[in-house]
Amino acid sequence: MNEDIVRVLAPQVLGILVRRGNDFAAAEDAVQEALLEAHRSWRDAPPDDPKGWLLTVAGRKLIDARRSEAARRRREDALSHEPQPGPAEQSDDTLLLLFLSCHPALSPASAIALTLRAVGGLTTREIAEAFMVPEATMAQRISRAKRTVSGQPFTAPGDVAVVLRVLYLIFNEGYSGRVDLSAEAIRLTRQLALASDEPEVAGLLALMLLHHARRAARTDEYGALVPLDKQDRSRWNEAEIVEGVRILQAALARDRRGEYQIQAAVAALHDDARTAEETDWPQILAWYDELLERTDNPMAALSRAVALGEVDGPLVGLRAAEELAPRLGDHHRLDAVRARLYERAGHLDLAAEHFSRAASRARSTAERDYLTRQAARLRRG
Amino acid sequence: MPKYLLLKHYTGGPERHPNMVPMSEWTEDEITAHIAFQRHVCELLQQRGELVDVQALSPERTYVRYGGPDAAPVTTDGPFPETKELAAGWFLIDVESEARAREVAAYVSSAPGKGGQPVYEWIEVRPVMTDAPPQAE
């Protein structure tokens, strides 16, 4: 497909232009224009050398832009940002562009939009559709992000943790518009994994694959959520599970564990069970214990309470969940976990009540509908 | 990125600030300044990449419901008790956080009114639900 070629080549062409000393924002504009021209003029058949074509067109756009800018006596400032000459490796370019697009000076929303455009090769319209905002609004968000990044020192080493967080946010946006953002996040994380041997990069890639593998089973034919223990496991994507586990094992073998590797290990244990009953909850609990040594994230602690409920019984799990109440307040997930544990403990009225409370505060229609039906099921029984 | 609906009302809501004088008592310049401020808010939100939609609603309203089998729909256009909320329009925004949504709402509420003073209008902030299923359990 043309579109795929274009999207793989876009960051490579941008990387070359930036390495040649062009301002990131100006080069990114030029590549975007070249992409739009490619969409228009390639139709079914790309040229023999699509990368050379894009580079030539983008280079020409850049010169045109610089001439008109120079006429208005602007841009001089931006052009003084010369990058360090580096080896002409594509993976280095990907890394450079990811560090720029996920610059810590950017808000997450800006970093997400810029990453999808500069590294993902998506058009502004596609990104706007994915987030269901007008194209003009997304264009502004991206150009503000580029202005912010252009003012930043160029050669500062990037923080890979920030890049991973942005990629994980993109993954969690899922699929709501025409663009599958989860698949896009996996694609970008694969590219990053080629360029970085940081085990947490592999950990995040494994985590994404191991969750993505369950996607077909996560909703039924009407789009309703199916919880993990009720999913048809034959619909899980075996190839993604195998790949995720392999990547995870290689990462864990390096003995530099981090949060993504640990979460991936939990996901792998779920994916490994042929039935919900076969789930190795004691080992999942052990991983959550290790996760909580590294983070005081209350949502991670809530997941641990679920695992604890499976291992030591629902009342023990409930006690752990209640300890989180001061920190989670009236978050709907806390009530959903309480409901689930009350049900297992045989307190069906309390379970129904908590499912209803969770439903009233859910922020996604899919979760709300699921929780509402759970409450109805228990009230009838 | 969560979306929020910032609702303005003709009537209803918490007790009004004394500055919320009906527009029928404003001068032409005061009204012009108020409208210019609304436009300024739109531009600001647009430039920041946060604006999704902005609309004003006519105060006319009709309630319609199914009338039952073989019956015409039932309609009513009032009168309704004065305390009933009547929406006047909205900003739909796509922002980083709920805190940012509240910041925008407070700014909208500072629009100039009678005597150029802020109107201190109550703005109702409503989270919009996403329809994307979560990617993890």
Which residues, in sequence order, are bridge partners of residue B86?
B11
Note whether B124 and B13 are within 8 A (CB): yes
At residue A177 the predicted structure's pLDDT band, cuts being 50, 70 and 90, is low
Contact B52 A133 (CB under 8 A): yes
Which residues, in sequence order, are bridge partners of residue A364?
B130
Q: The pTM is what?
A: 0.86
How confident is the prediction for chain A on average, in pLDDT?
A: 89
By residue count, chain A amounts to 381
* Angle in degrees, CA A131, A137, A143, rounded to 5: 105
Closest-approach residue (CA) in chain A for B132:
A176
**pLDDT given at position A88:** 43
Q: Is A303 in CB contact (< 8 Å) with chain B?
A: no
Contact B49 A172 (CB under 8 A): no
Q: Residue type for A260, please?
A: Y
CA distance A119 to A9: 9
**pLDDT given at position A277:** 96
Contact A176 B50 (CB under 8 A): no
**pLDDT given at position A86:** 45
- Chain A (93-112) residues lying within 8 Å, Cβ to Cβ, of chain B: 107-110, 112
In sign, the C-alpha dihedral spanning A283, A286, A292, A297 is positive
pLDDT tens track for A315-365: 999 999 999 999 999 999 999 999 999 999 999 999 999 999 999 999 889
**pLDDT given at position A85:** 39
Per-residue pLDDT, averaged over A11-17, amounts to 89
Q: What percent of chain A has pLDDT over 90?
A: 66
Per-residue pLDDT, averaged over A214-241, amounts to 94
**pLDDT given at position B82:** 62
Q: What DSSP string describes B4-52?
A: EEEEEEEE-SSPPPTT---GGGS-HHHHHHHHHHHHHHHHHHHHTT-EE
Q: What residues of A are in contact with residue B53 (Cβ under 8 Å)?
A: 134
**pLDDT given at position B116:** 93
Q: What residues of B are in contact with residue A175 (Cβ under 8 Å)?
A: 132
CA distance A379 to B110: 47
* Angle in degrees, CA B71, B75, B81, rounded to 5: 145
Closest-approach residue (CA) in chain B for A228:
B137
SS3 B129: coil
H or E element that contains B54: strand B51-56
Please, which residues have CB within 8 angstroms of residue A20's CB and are 6 or more apart in sequence? Answer: none
- Chain B (64-123) residues lying within 8 Å, Cβ to Cβ, of chain A: 94-96
In this structure, what token pair is assigned to residue B38? 């609304």
Cα of A51 to nearest chain B Cα, Å:
31
Poorest-confidence range of A96-100, B5-9, B41-45, B112-116? Answer: A96-100
Contact B132 A134 (CB under 8 A): no
Contact B129 A113 (CB under 8 A): no
Closest-approach residue (CA) in chain B for A181:
B135
**pLDDT given at position A151:** 72
Note whether B93 and B55 are within 8 A (CB): no
Q: Residue type for A354, please?
A: H
Q: Is A183 in CB contact (< 8 Å) with chain B?
A: no
CA distance A288 to A308: 10
* Angle in degrees, CA A35, A38, A40, rounded to 5: 115
Q: What DSSP string describes A176-243?
A: SSSSBHHHHHHHHHHHHHHH---HHHHHHHHHHHHHHTTHHHHB-TTS-B--GGGS-GGGS-HHHHHH
| Partner-chain residue, chosen from A171, A219, A270, that has the shortest CB–CB distance to B133 | A219
Interface-testing mutation among A106, A127, A131, A140, with chain B (most B C-beta atoms within 10 A): A140
Per-residue pLDDT, averaged over B96-109, amounts to 97
Q: What percent of chain A has pLDDT over 70?
A: 91
Most confident residue range from A19-23, A80-84, A221-225, B104-108: B104-108
Count Cβ atoms within 10 A of the Cβ of residue A56 and give its class: 0-12 exposed, 13-18 middle, 19 or more buried. middle
pLDDT tens track for A33-53: 998 888 888 877 788 898 999
**pLDDT given at position A93:** 81
pLDDT tens track for B6-52: 999 988 889 989 888 888 899 999 999 999 999 999 999 999 999 99
**pLDDT given at position A8:** 84
Q: Is B133 in CB contact (< 8 Å) with chain A?
A: yes
DSSP A156: S
**pLDDT given at position A114:** 96
